[in-house]
Amino acid sequence: MEDRYSRQKLFKPIGEDGQKEIGQKHVLILGCGALGTANAENLVRAGIGKLTIIDRDYVELSNLHRQHLFTEQDAMDQIPKVIAAKRKLEAINSQVEIIAHILDATAVSLKPYLAKVDLVIDATDNFDTRFMLNDLLQQLEIPWIYGSCVGSTGMSYTILPKQTPCLHCLLNDGPPPNGATCDSVGIISPAVQMVVAHQTTEAMKLLIGAKEALRTTLVTFDLWKNHYQMINVEQAMNRACPACGMDASYPYIQYEASTKAEILCGRNTVQIRANREVHLPELANHLKKVGHVKGNDFLLSMDYQSYRLVFFQDGRTLIHGTDSIEKAKNLYYQLVG
């Protein structure tokens, strides 16, 4: 019988021994959108032993230009992303054990699924979740590979607990709260593929134990402007970092630091409370890229699709037109970033 991995094993850094290692490893991918589906397909084709995929969302038509594994029928039927992905991945490689969870990932809900995981790949779409993931994986000492992309830009970085700067070290007190999103500035699929190429390659190095080959820099690029940069971040490691320092407190897995959501009874409205105050003029400038914004000294409001969103300076957002916390969170992260 022909060996499906023969060409991969001919690559000397992997070889027969490396292929055996890959086949014995368990990777968890958090997020099953553009980065998640492409990384999942790469790893399944490479012969990963076990793959867990986690996502809370379902397939929509606007996903199809950049998110692998999904079809028009999946979008029409509103199939949960992890279910649609699992079906396609099992058709690609029936030898891989694929576990799918429809889950809104929090520090509490995610932790049980991290047992006996060798590596986590970040394919999320917001920094609230990434900072939570960073704290949790630092606490559990599980390596992970950060990745993000928007427009024609992207970046990736490999994080080894106790050995490299963590995400909190790199971004200090957190990213600007009103960053660009795919919904505000769009995205082209080659930017996704560039990030995925870095993430999957780093994953394969880690899975076979080739740590000497790991990239120690933060890679950033803008494909449209022909920019590519490797940034040395070794000096960013902070001994006082609350996530990876000597006296780590893991602030982003504490309840007080989480983004909270609740349904407002009888109002077809969900309230989301972020863990930070909002600078209304800056947010207004950001939201104008998406739709018409009205406001005063106390709040901003805008209509988006069939919803009305009201943003308060204290970090609260009311999303009128739904009583689904998952839908409300998706809208919030799509628009706010």
Q: Which pLDDT tens digit goes with each residue over 281-294?
A: 888 888 888 888 98
Residue 229, CA atoms < 13 Å, CB-side half-sphere: 11
Which alpha helices (DSSP H) does the chain contain, by range? 6-10, 15-22, 34-46, 72-76, 81-92, 107-110, 127-140, 167-171, 182-185, 189-207, 280-287, 325-336
Domain residues of the chain, as ranges?
6-253, 259-336
CA distances from 121 to 81, 101, 159 (A): 17, 15, 10
**pLDDT for the residue numbered 312:** 84
β-pairing verdict for 269-273 and 97-102: unpaired
Per-residue pLDDT of 165-224, as tens digits, reads 999 999 874 444 446 777 778 899 999 999 999 999 999 999 999 999 999 999 999 999
Helices 15-22 and 189-207: crossing angle in degrees, nearest 10, is 100
- The span from the CA of 84 to the CA of 105, in Å, is 19
* CATH superfamily, domain at 6-253: NAD(P)-binding Rossmann-like Domain (3.40.50.720)
Rounded Cα gap, residues 42 and 39, in angstroms: 5
Rounded distance between C-alpha atoms, residue 100 and residue 290, angstroms: 33
Cβ–Cβ contacts within 10 Å for residue 327, how many? 17
Q: How far is CA 43 from CA 114, 129, 232, in A?
A: 18, 23, 27
Q: What is the pLDDT of residues 129-163, one digit of tens each?
A: 899 999 999 999 999 999 999 999 999 999 999 99
Q: Which CATH class is domain 259-336?
A: alpha beta
| Equal fold, 6-253 vs 259-336 | no
Residues 6+ apart with CB under 8 A from 20: none
Gap between the Cα atoms of 251 and 66, Å rounded: 34
The reported pLDDT for the residue numbered 35 is 97
**Beta bridge mates, 58:** 80
pLDDT digits (tens, 9 = 90+) for 42-87: 999 999 999 999 998 888 898 999 999 999 999 998 899 999 999 9
CA nearest to 304, candidates 290, 317, 284 = 290
Kindly state the tokens that stand for 4: 């499906």
Over the range 202-237, which residues count as b (16 or more CB within 10 Å of their CB) and which as e? bbbbbbbeeeeebeeebbbbebeeeeeeeeeeeebb
Distance CA(43)–CA(29), nearest Å, equals 10
**Coil/strand/helix, residue 60:** coil
- pLDDT band at residue 295 using 50, 70 and 90 as cut-offs: confident
> Full-prediction pTM beyond 0.85?
no
What is the rounded average pLDDT of the residues 25-54?
98
299-330 pLDDT, tens digit per residue, is 788 999 999 998 888 788 889 999 888 888 88
Instruction: Report pLDDT for 175.
Output: 45
Which of 289, 335, 286, 288 shows the shortest CA–CA distance to 309?
335
